[in-house]
Amino acid sequence: MMPAAASVPAAQPAAAAAAQGARRPLRIALVGNPNVGKTTLFNRLTGLHQRVGNFPGVTVERKLGRARLRQAGGEAAVELVDLPGAYSLVPDALDEEIVARYLCGELAGAEPVAGRAQGRGAAAEPEPPPDAAIVVVDATNLRRNLFLLSEALDCGVPVVVALNMVDEARAAGIEIDARAIERAAGVRCVETVARSGAGLEQLLEEAVAAARQGSSPRRCWRLSAPEERQLGPVLDRAPRRWPVLVALRAADPQLRQREIEARYRWAAMAAGPEAQRAARARRRSDRLDRVLLHPVLGPAIFVLVMGLLFQAVFAWAAPLMDLLEAGFAALAELVRGEGLWSQFLADGVIAGVGAVVVFLPQIVILFLGLGLLEDTGYLTRAAFIVDRPLKALGLSGRAFLPLMSSFACAIPGILAARTIPDRRERMVTIFLAPLMTCSARLPIYALLIAAFVPAKAVLGVLSLQGLVLLGLYLAGMGGAALFALLIERFGRPPERLSGMLELPPYRMPTLRTVLLRLKVRAGAFLRRAGTLIFCAAVALWALASFPRLEPPPGTPPAQAAQLQLAQSAAGRLGRAIEPVLAPLGFDWKVGIGIIGSFAAREVFVSTMAVVYAVGDAQDAGGLRAAMQAQRWPDGSPVYTLPMVLALLVFYAFALQCVSTLAVVARETGSRLLPLVQFIAFGAFAWLAAFATYHGARALGL
């Protein structure tokens, strides 16, 4: 048990906290530096009972999860909040500011209190502070982590320390005394291993007990003797010391530096002499980094690793994709009939949605590979590798994570740019994010590459298809680099900001974390296929099927289907833009796909599935077979290799996503920037596709 002097009465009485707890679960926040295993701990405690949203009034993401603690008196319902990683509560970016404001109960605009109706225009309820906080610290990097703990103790909420990664510390010969940390901090300290789940049940028990007790931790750090006599009583009387410190720093800007020194003195004392040996835990990582971060070998290994990942996307996914494609084709044939309703089900719903869902194995393999690289710590090294090139483009390492996030989807990448303090760099990062090759492009790439790029071996090991896919990813990055250079050349000089990038030790990924991430991302892809792509496929089927055309008597079914498509609303739209697309080798049917993909890039696949299903009633050989069978009036194939390469290049650069444009407008507060993006990227995509098409023809491809 902790001594009585270890705590002071909290701002909220225990009785009030108990009454509040009767209305809602206990809410416990997870706080910690980046790379301390906080998210792994959150995933272990909550499992699949998670949801993702934003903090009230801002675009910073927070994860909420439910956990249940079985006790002698029954079950305790707990809601866990995974706060953004932070090195300090004095904000250097918006996510760090959110952590401090949330712990102090200064966020406004939370969800309405359960059971209370809110009328139109009613004021939102203030966001209550958490009932307790779990501060996760890395046992192999204790001194720096305890600095954040000292700040969290000043926010006035009950705190429990999770001394994580104790297995790695012991493997390095480090024995951390958890009881010494308890005595120094005045709060409970539980040894945990988030990767295996060791100690997590006890951690949750201690956090629930601290939340129910409702005591505010005492101040652990001390200033110089004269300042303690002056400021100590002011700080110690305040239930929440952090707002008082904010006011004192505003009155005396030099106080922050003296406060930092005092906190680090306490952290060094609390860590003890054993923590000084923590560097041994990183020696293996240092040896690997001599190779993986080498100025020449590092970038080459990075390209090789990504290339192998793209090889796996094609090689491993092909059998599963063939099964899915055959299944959807059989299902379409099963429901296809003469009536309009059966045609709608077969050619609109099943052909449209199935054409995109068939790429789920490739999406899973890609995210599996990226997740493994992230969990091992290699992706952070990738940020280090690209830091110097980013500086040459007028950006900094702060832009890497938003741009890296854009490889999954440009929208979270754009939202992540809110953490960049400099407005100019933030705007440039938002501008460039859509050029990163997002997962929505992958179904288009996979369809065209598998159907028209020969499956040849290069150098006896690498696949030509995988190399083309890697080239498209590199092309997106190259296009972003070109636009960044143009902005650097003609824009105002950027404000150079210093930044810190921590390289965590290399670790073995945990199967549970990897599978949970795959479940979330694959689920998001399927939800998108079941909503947006379903609606787009239905709309495209209607546009391709109406107005109805009565063919002349005796017209063969295939010709009648072609006439119907040509005279439909979709056909007229495609023919209207055909003069613009003809120099690229595209026909009017591809134009329909380009128009349809404004809803989302991957809708191009479902659009072409609907177009060819409606336009060729005799074709039941799947989308790839239908595309390979397309002919110009003179009998030459539409989808030649130069045309396919041009189409791939077009989608590598064009901004075909209405949702992205809307988010850019909201985040920047400007309608001009998304308009400039759309026009600039569209024009660049057209020019690049034109050069690719005619260059490939000149080479005889």
Share of the chain above pLDDT 90, in %: 32
- SS3 at position 531: coil
Cα–Cα distances (Å) from 66 to 17, 92, 511, 631, in that order, read: 19, 30, 21, 56
- The pTM (predicted TM-score) of the whole model is 0.63
- The helix/strand/coil state of 372 is helix
Q: Residue 6 — very low, low, confident or very high, per pLDDT cuts 50/70/90?
A: very low
Report yes or no on 336 lying in a domain.
no
pLDDT tens-place string over residues 605-652: 888 888 887 665 444 357 888 899 899 989 999 999 999 999 999 999
Say whether the peptide bond before residue 547 is cis (omega within 30 degrees of 0). yes
Three-state secondary structure of 142-185? HHHHHHHHHHHHHHCCCEEEEEECHHHHHHCCCCCCHHHHHHHH
Whether the CB-CB separation of 653 and 476 falls below 8 Å is answered with yes
Is residue 79 in a domain?
Answer: yes
Instruction: Flag whether 455 is in a domain.
Output: no
- Quote the percentage of the chain above a pLDDT of 70: 84
* Residue 522 falls inside a structural domain: no
With vertex at residue 444, the alpha carbon angle to CA 439 and CA 447, rounded to the nearest 5 degrees, is 125
List helix spans (H) across 238-296.
241-251, 255-271, 283-292
Residues in Cβ contact with 157 at an 8 Å cutoff, skipping those fewer than 6 apart: 10, 29, 103, 129, 130, 131, 132, 133, 216
Q: Do the beta carbons of residue 133 and residue 157 sit within 8 Å? A: yes
Q: Is residue 493 part of a domain?
A: no
Structural domain count, the chain? 1
State mean pLDDT over 142-148. Answer: 88
Least confident range from 26-30, 503-507, 512-516: namely 503-507
- Assigned domain for 563 exists: no
| Domain span including residue 126 | 4-280
| 440 found inside a domain | no
The answer to whether residue 486 is domain-embedded is no
Q: Does residue 416 carry a pLDDT above 90?
A: no
| The predicted structure's pLDDT at residue 200 | 93
CB atoms inside a 10 Å sphere around CB 642: 20
Residue of higher predicted confidence among 473 and 504? 473
- 241: closest CA among 144, 153, 180, 369? 153
Question: Above 60 in pLDDT, residue 59?
Answer: no
On whether the CB atoms of residues 401 and 408 are closer than 8 A, the answer is: no
The pLDDT of residue 616: 58
Residues whose CB is less than 8 angstroms from the CB of residue 611 and which lie 6 or more positions away in sequence, other chains included: 540, 544, 565, 570, 589, 592, 593
CATH number assigned to the domain comprising residue 46: 3.40.50.300
Mean pLDDT over 66-81 rounds to 80
Is 298 a residue whose pLDDT tops 70? yes
